Amino acid sequence: MDQFTLYEQILGLSPPWFVSNVELDKDLGEVEVQVGLDRDAILTCPRCGRNCPGYDSRERRWRHLDTCQFRTQVVAQVPRVQCPEHGCLTISVPWAEQKSRYTLLFEAFVISWLRVASISAVSKQLRLSWTAIDNIMERAVQRGLANSPERDIVRLAVDETSFRKGHDYVTIVSNSQGHVLAVEDGRSSDSLGRFYATLDEQRKRSITSISMDMSPAYQKATFEHIENAHRKIAFDHFHVAQMLTRALDMTRKADMAKADRSMRKGIHQSRYTWLRHRDSLDLQQVQQMRQLSEDLKDTGLVWYLKEKARDIWQGYRVKGARVAWQEWIQMARVTKVRALTSAADQIEIKLFGILNAMRFKASNGLAEAINGQVRALKVRARGFRSKERFKRAILFHYGGLPMAPDPHK
């Protein structure tokens, strides 16, 4: 096999394309592969595919996978055609996408590296600028989205994450496979609304559950866009537990302020004990709580009801759950502990979503896991220079998208 044929095979070329020359420039450390086109090749418009007369040609270059240690460039005179409908356009070449400065194989190679290594590592290893990598990622995500128009949206989860610490949020929508479907600016009702607006009616109807936190924004969007939203919105136990943990903490602090000075240290030291599940307490902790309950009556009550809420969640599926929660709400109100009665009010308003979550066994767990991965991504990238890059990176890494170009299509 001569080297021309070798490169034709490497590049996957077939007639009318052929390798016309291969040159090694040792000083530059570069291999240049010249690709030619048969003189009588039929030229087609890249938009509509109709045969068109040639107009002129332009030299174009693409970076390809290195040949040993040598950076390799593909060079070709690419004809432009004059399409009666689309005007003067450069024809498509089989080794690269339109407007890309890299061959398909090179892009596929970069994508596979980016999946496992940081942008800075890839930049250094492959001698590519950040902007070049960013362009490859952008095309990869767009290709992935175009290749998978019908992704699973039966069971959704919505969550927010911050782009920069403390402000500037994005909303992440994911499915039950743990794939990110969309990343939208902000965490308002409009943020989620924009995602819903991309779905047609049939797709919207196919959604059976949407797991979310208890803040009103995502609920509002869901009620506005999704039919029978009150049967689909689900509040995970995690969010209920979080609310009760906050109530417990507030009550303990209020109790501590009222308690005798000599007691305060002990109360403060017990702060984590109260948050634990009763089955995970050791004897010493039980005794500590018993002693403290004498002085921390309210804290004891809130703790008891927090445990009771867990029992309801674990003990019922559908039948009896509503009544059990209603009893719980009454009990919480009787205590007259401020933090607890306001939690009870919230639970009463949100009961439909709590019951839905119990019915579906829906969980925001996957969304929370994605959120954790996104935080790790931010740390690894040492921050993103723009929100668009951040959003793209989330889709690139967690979108489950088929992003690699297919050199043999």
Q: How far apart are CA 129 and CA 149, in angstroms?
A: 31
H-assigned helices in 117-159: 119-126, 130-147
Q: Is 310 helix (H, G, I), strand (E, B) or coil?
A: helix
Pair 83, 50: CB distance under 8 Å: yes
Q: How far is the CB of 39 from Zn ion (least distance, A)?
A: 22
Output Rg (C-alpha) for the chain, integer angstroms: 30
Which residue, 43 or 182, is less far from Zn ion as judged by CB?
Answer: 43
Q: How far is the CB of 77 from Zn ion (least distance, A)?
A: 21
Which residue, 53 or 216, is less far from Zn ion as judged by CB?
Answer: 53
Q: How far is the CB of 46 from Zn ion (least distance, A)?
A: 8
DSSP letters, 5-68, are HHHHHHHT--TTEEEEEEEEETTTTEEEEEEEE-TTPPPB-TTT--B--EEEEEEEEEEEEEET
Q: Which residue is at the shortest CB distance from Zn ion?
A: 45
Q: How far is the CB of 91 from Zn ion (least distance, A)?
A: 11
Q: How far apart are CA 366 and CA 336, in angstroms?
A: 36
Which residue, 85 or 260, is less far from Zn ion as judged by CB?
Answer: 85
Interface positions with Zn ion (CB under 5 A): 45, 47-48, 83, 85-86
Dihedral through CA 234, CA 237, CA 239, CA 245, nearest 10?
160
User: Is residue 236 packed enough to be buried (19+ CB in 10 Å), middle (13-18) or exposed (0-12)?
Assistant: buried
Name the helix (H) or strand (E) containing 211.
strand 209-212
Q: How far is the CB of 50 from Zn ion (least distance, A)?
A: 6
Q: How far is the CB of 43 from Zn ion (least distance, A)?
A: 11
Q: Tell me the pairing of strands 209-212 and 233-235.
A: parallel
Which residue, 52 or 292, is less far from Zn ion as judged by CB?
Answer: 52
Which residue, 50 or 375, is less far from Zn ion as judged by CB?
Answer: 50
Which residue, 49 or 216, is less far from Zn ion as judged by CB?
Answer: 49
